[in-house]
Amino acid sequence: MGHIIVIGAGQAGASLTAKLRNLEYEGDITLIGEEPVLPYQRPPLSKGYLLGDMTRERLFLRPEEFYENQNIKVRLGVKISTIDPVAKTVAVGDEVLAYDDLALTTGSTPHHLPAAIGGALQGVHVVRTLADIDAMEPEFSAGKNVLIVGGGYIGLEAAAVAAKLALNVTLVEMSGRILQRVAAPETSDYFRALHRGHGVNIIEGVGLDHLSGDTRVTSATLTNGDELPIDFVITGVGIKPTTELAETLGVALDNGIKTDAQGRTSVPHIWAAGDCASFPYAGDRIRLESVPNAIEQAEVVAENMMGAGKDYVAKPWFWSDQYDVKLQIAGLNTGYNNVVTRVGDKPGAQSHWYYQGGSLLAVDAMNDARAYMIGKRLIEAGKSPAPEVVESPDTDLKALLK
């Protein structure tokens, strides 16, 4: 009958195991996770859950009964001792499990501030797990001073929640502008104005020099010499693929666990999907940190474990919620050399269209679901309307799909 073991009980792991049963795989399935809780949604953690708008139960992707009914054995709060890819066994504590196929869906790990600059002080938090959010939630009381280090989407989402809860928010970004690594200046400008309008103090081109305090953080010194009194810190300086387990197996790495187009690693019978996996895309190799990718890639891997022989063709899209603005992103903007702005029908609705020459690469849409949907369909169809056509308020976007 066979046995498939999936290591990593996040979005990709949960999707992979559910898809196997959906495809009527009749063998044993074991899903192993380090966290002591069932697989859950991560995006609402730093938004709805932290704000108190979403209960803990609603975070879970599936109830416990689902795994029982589907005969998926879930092992939570455990670490893998060793994996033997030759014998095809996984040691969990003292127990040794044999597998026919193994999937690594180990996700990603946030970068922490170094202890040498105060990163180990109490009151310094990261945004990744349910435990991380539960640990920082008591800090969020009106009037407190919070420092957010990093002006990417995680940092900006945390800033929005803190500002909504009437904290005094300072955000520092050592690059020249917020979102510099992931978005055009136009999108940075939009979100800078949004946050400043909600009272957030955004400081760009300045980094954190060090944090001070005896056991708990009390102040921060910036690289420009400014010293700020602070009650707690949220660190949003990026994540890295979790590859330590793969490294012990001798699996090839390349910006994460290197897979072929079907999700196989360099070691027979070992697959990978989600944040931890890099894969071929448009003649290049990429790794996507997103919920849609985790789901879609994991489901293709499940199909290929069943013999489908199907290449994963990514259709990248992302989102971010900040205050009452929903940002939706379609495509990948890597290599763009031109951006045009289209103003939407409603106040604050706007979209930025990324081009490389005459080729449409990506769209950032703020409170403009129509521009996002049409942009996504154009990109997936390989269609590139001229930039001046997109920019013109006289253009009916929907007509561009014909």
- Any domain includes 45: yes
Taking only the tens place, the pLDDT of each residue in 328-365 is: 999 999 999 999 999 999 999 999 999 999 999 999 99
- Domain of residue 298 covers 3-109+239-305
User: In the 3-class helix/strand/coil scheme, how is the chain assigned residue by residue?
Assistant: CCEEEEECCCHHHHHHHHHHHHCCCCCEEEEEECCCCCCECCHHHHCHHHHCCCCHHHHECCCHHHHHHCCEEEEECCCEEEEECCCCEEEECCEEEECCEEEECCCEEECCCCHHHCCCCECEEECCCHHHHHHHHHHCCCCCEEEEECCCHHHHHHHHHHHHCCCEEEEEECCCCCCCCCCCHHHHHHHHHHHHHCCCEEEECCCEEEEECCCECCEEEECCCCEEECCEEEECCCEEECCHHHHHHCCCECCCEECCCCCECCCCCEEECCCCEEEEECCEEECCCCHHHHHHHHHHHHHHHCCCCCCCCCCCEEEEEECCEEEEEEECCCCCCEEEEEECCCCCCEEEEEEECCEEEEEEEECCHHHHHHHHHHHHHCCCCCHHHHHCCCCCHHHHHC
Taking only the tens place, the pLDDT of each residue in 117-162 is: 999 999 999 999 999 999 999 999 999 999 999 999 999 999 999 9
Quick one: 270 and 347 in the same domain?
no
CATH of the domain at 88: 3.50.50.60
- Any domain includes 311: no
CATH of the domain at 345: 3.30.390.30
Please determine, for residue 95, whether its predicted confidence score (pLDDT) is greater than 90. yes
Please determine, for residue 194, whether its predicted confidence score (pLDDT) is greater than 90. yes
Quick one: 335 and 360 in the same domain?
yes
- Any domain includes 316: no
- pLDDT for res 239: 95
Quick one: 116 and 195 in the same domain?
yes
- pLDDT for res 1: 82
Quick one: 291 and 245 in the same domain?
yes
Quick one: 211 and 144 in the same domain?
yes
Quick one: 333 and 222 in the same domain?
no
Domain termination site, one of 235, 266, 290: 235
Quick one: 92 and 200 in the same domain?
no
- pLDDT for res 70: 98
Evaluate whether 52 touches 25 at the Cβ level (below 8 Å). Answer: no
In the chain, how many domains are there? 3
pLDDT band of 195, cuts 50, 70, 90: very high
- Any domain includes 361: yes
- pLDDT for res 46: 87
Domain termination site, one of 199, 217, 235: 235
Give the max Cα distance, the chain.
Answer: 69
- pLDDT for res 22: 98
Give the pLDDT mean for 200-219. Answer: 98
- Any domain includes 144: yes
- Any domain includes 314: no
Evaluate whether 2 touches 28 at the Cβ level (below 8 Å). Answer: yes
- pLDDT for res 269: 98
Quick one: 66 and 54 in the same domain?
yes
- Any domain includes 318: no
pLDDT band of 92, cuts 50, 70, 90: very high
Quick one: 168 and 231 in the same domain?
yes
Domain termination site, one of 235, 251, 280: 235
Please determine, for residue 219, whether its predicted confidence score (pLDDT) is greater than 90. yes
Quick one: 231 and 250 in the same domain?
no
pLDDT averaged over every residue in the chain: 97
- pLDDT for res 402: 86
Quick one: 98 and 128 in the same domain?
no
Quick one: 128 and 199 in the same domain?
yes
Evaluate whether 87 touches 100 at the Cβ level (below 8 Å). Answer: no
